[in-house]
Amino acid sequence: MTSPPPPDPEPFRAEVREWCRTHVPTGWRDAQTGVSDEEFVSFQKQWFGELREAGYAVPHWPLAWGGGLSVGEQIVLYQELAAHDAPRLVLAFVAIHHAASTLLAAGTDEQRARHLPAILDGEIWVQGFSEPDAGSDLASLRTAARREGDAYVVNGQKLWASGAKYAGWCLLLARTDPGAPKRHGISYFLLDMRSQGVEVRPIRQATGESHFSEIFLNDVEIPATHLIGPENGGWQVAQATLSAERGMTMLELAERLGHAGFTWLLDACRRPNAEGLRPIDDSLVLDRLAGFETEIAGLRAMCRSLAVRHETGHVGPADASVVKLYYSELLQRMTNFGADVAGLAGSTRIIKPMSSGWESGAWVLDFIGSWEWTIPGGTSEIQRTIIAERALQMPRA
C-alpha cells in the first residue's frame, strides 16, 4: 500500500510570504546596530510576539502547546523567514528549543504547565552546563547539589552561559552523588535566576560584546519540585537538550546561512577592493563560491532529511552530530573566506546588528562568532567521536 503524497506546500508558502512582506521590520539591521541592552530585549520580545500571534514562533512544538506545523511546513516557514531576512529569535533560542525539548521529553505535567505558556509570554532561559574544568568533558562538572528537606542546596560555577544576563530561568546540571561514576551522579534542575545566591558576571569579549557570562551559585536553594527527571538521572535528560542544539535547530540555521550568509558573501566579492578590482572576477574566488554554494545545498538537504526522519522516529544515533559538525565547520569556512575577501577594511567594522545571526556581513566578527558553533554543544572533536562510536561502531580509543 503506497503512502499518500505529501500536501502541496505552496498555499502555506504564499501565506508565509505575504505575512513576511507586511511584518518583517524594514531596516531592522541598521536599527539594531549599536543599541542598548534594553532596546535589544524590547525588540526581541516584540518580534517574538508577532511571530507567536501568527503561529510561527514555535512551529516545532506540539499543537496543544501552540505549535503543530508539519515538517514540510516548518521547512517552508524557515525558508521564507530567511529569504525575507527576518530577525532571529536570539533571546528566545534556548527557551523555545532547549528548555521546551527538555520539558516535553522529561518534565512533569506541572512543570510543563508552568513554563511552556510562560515561554510563549517571553520567558528567557539560559543553559547552565559548562564549567571552568568541564566544557567538552561535561560529565566532569563539579557544581554540587545536596538534598536538604524539600530543596536542594547548590554551590558551584557555570561558564560560557549565553545570554545569562537577560535570563529569568536556567537549565542547570549539578552533581548530586559525588561517589557515583561521573555520568551517573548528575541531576537536572530548573533554576530561577532570581534566587538568592545567584550571581551573574558578564564576560567582556575582545569584540566589546558580553554575549557570555559566568554564573556563580552560593548556597542557592532549588525546590525539589524543580528537579527534571529522577535524581542522578540528569545525564540522560541532558541528551534531549543537546540533541535539540545539534539537530532540529539546524533547520533554521541552514536556511539562514544559505540565504543571508551566501548573499552577503556574493556582495563582498562583487565590491571593488582598494585597487579597484572585484574579487568575483578572479577565477579562484569563483571556484570557492561555487564550492560554498554546493556545500550549502548539501547542508540544507541534510537538515531537511533529519527533520523528516525525526518526525517519523528514524533518526540515527549520530545523525544530529553529523549535521551540527557540518554546519559549524561550513559556517567557519565561509566567514573566514568573507574576512579574507573584505581585507583590512573589513577589520574596521567592529559592530553588527544585535538580532542577526552568524552571517551578518561584518566578516571578522562573524568569523570570531563562528567559533561559538565549533566549540559549544560539543566540540568538533566530540562530534567526530560520537559519529565514530555510535554511527560507525568503531571501538573506543
Q: Which residue has the cell 503512502?
A: 3
Domain that holds residue 53: 10-90
Alpha carbon separation from 60 to 92, 134, 147, 253, 313 (Å, rounded): 14, 31, 35, 14, 15
Q: Are residues 312 and 355 in the same domain?
A: yes
b/e per residue 206-224 (b: at least 16 CB within 10 A): eeebebbbbbebeebbbee
Q: Are residues 219 and 260 in the same domain?
A: no
The catalytic site residues sit at 245
- Set of cell numbers at residue 180: 557515583
Annotate 238-259 with DSSP letters as a single string. HHHHHHHHHTTHHHHHHHHIII
Q: Are residues 39 and 158 in the same domain?
A: no
Q: Are 127 and 173 in contact (CB under 8 A)?
A: no
Q: Which residue has the cell 565514530?
A: 388
Q: Are 160 and 376 in contact (CB under 8 A)?
A: yes
Closest residue by Cα to residue 331 from 390, 375, 386, 301 = 375
Q: Are residues 216 and 139 in the same domain?
A: yes
Does the residue 308 lie in any domain? yes
Q: Are residues 124 and 214 in the same domain?
A: yes
Closest residue by Cα to residue 266 from 314, 195, 337, 316 = 337
Instruction: For the chain, give the percent of residues with pLDDT over 70.
Output: 96
Alpha carbon separation from 310 to 168, 240, 320 (Å, rounded): 30, 13, 10
Does the residue 285 lie in any domain? yes
pLDDT band for position 173 (cuts 50, 70, 90)? very high
Does the residue 2 lie in any domain? no
pLDDT in tens, 194-228: 999 999 999 988 777 888 999 999 999 999 999 99
d(CA 386, CA 279): 39
d(CA 175, CA 145): 6
Alpha carbons within 13 A on the beta-carbon side of 157: 10
Does the residue 1 lie in any domain? no
Domain termination site, one of 182, 207, 232: 232
Once rounded to an integer, what is the mean pLDDT over residues 348-373?
A: 88
d(CA 36, CA 102): 31
d(CA 25, CA 44): 12
Q: What is the CATH number of the domain that holds 187?
A: 2.40.110.10
| Range with the poorest average pLDDT among 49-53, 117-121, 210-214, 349-353 | 349-353
Does the residue 171 lie in any domain? yes
- Set of cell numbers at residue 116: 511552556
The tally of domains found in the chain comes to 3
Does the residue 126 lie in any domain? yes
pLDDT band for position 251 (cuts 50, 70, 90)? confident
Does the residue 4 lie in any domain? no
d(CA 136, CA 375): 8
Q: Are residues 73 and 131 in the same domain?
A: no
Q: Which residue has the cell 512543570?
A: 111
Q: Are residues 255 and 367 in the same domain?
A: yes
pLDDT at 245 over 80: no
Instruction: For the chain, give the percent of residues with pLDDT over 90.
Output: 74
**CA pseudo-torsion sign 105, 107, 109, 113:** negative
Q: Are residues 339 and 211 in the same domain?
A: no
Alpha carbon separation from 376 to 109, 131, 154, 308, 369 (Å, rounded): 30, 12, 24, 25, 11
pLDDT in tens, 88-142: 999 999 999 999 999 999 999 999 999 999 999 999 999 999 999 888 788 899 9
Domain termination site, one of 213, 232, 251: 232
- Set of cell numbers at residue 41: 530585549
Domain termination site, one of 204, 232, 260: 232
How high does pLDDT run on average in the chain? Answer: 92
Q: Are residues 108 and 129 in the same domain?
A: yes
**CA pseudo-torsion sign 210, 214, 219, 221:** positive
pLDDT at 308 over 70: yes
Q: What is the CATH number of the domain that holds 382?
A: 1.20.140.10
Q: Are residues 263 and 202 in the same domain?
A: no
Q: Are residues 258 and 199 in the same domain?
A: no
Alpha carbon separation from 247 to 26, 290, 307 (Å, rounded): 31, 26, 8
61 three-state secondary structure: coil
pTM metric for this prediction: 0.91
Which residues are within 8 A (CB) of 384 and not within 5 positions of it... i.e. 6 or more apart?
325
Q: Are residues 58 and 114 in the same domain?
A: no
One-letter amino acid for residue 48 of the chain: F
* First vs last C-alpha separation in the chain: 46
d(CA 88, CA 99): 18
- Set of cell numbers at residue 340: 579574507
d(CA 135, CA 10): 44
Does the residue 396 lie in any domain? no
d(CA 306, CA 322): 10
Helix ranges, 195-233 (H): none
pLDDT band for position 67 (cuts 50, 70, 90)? very high
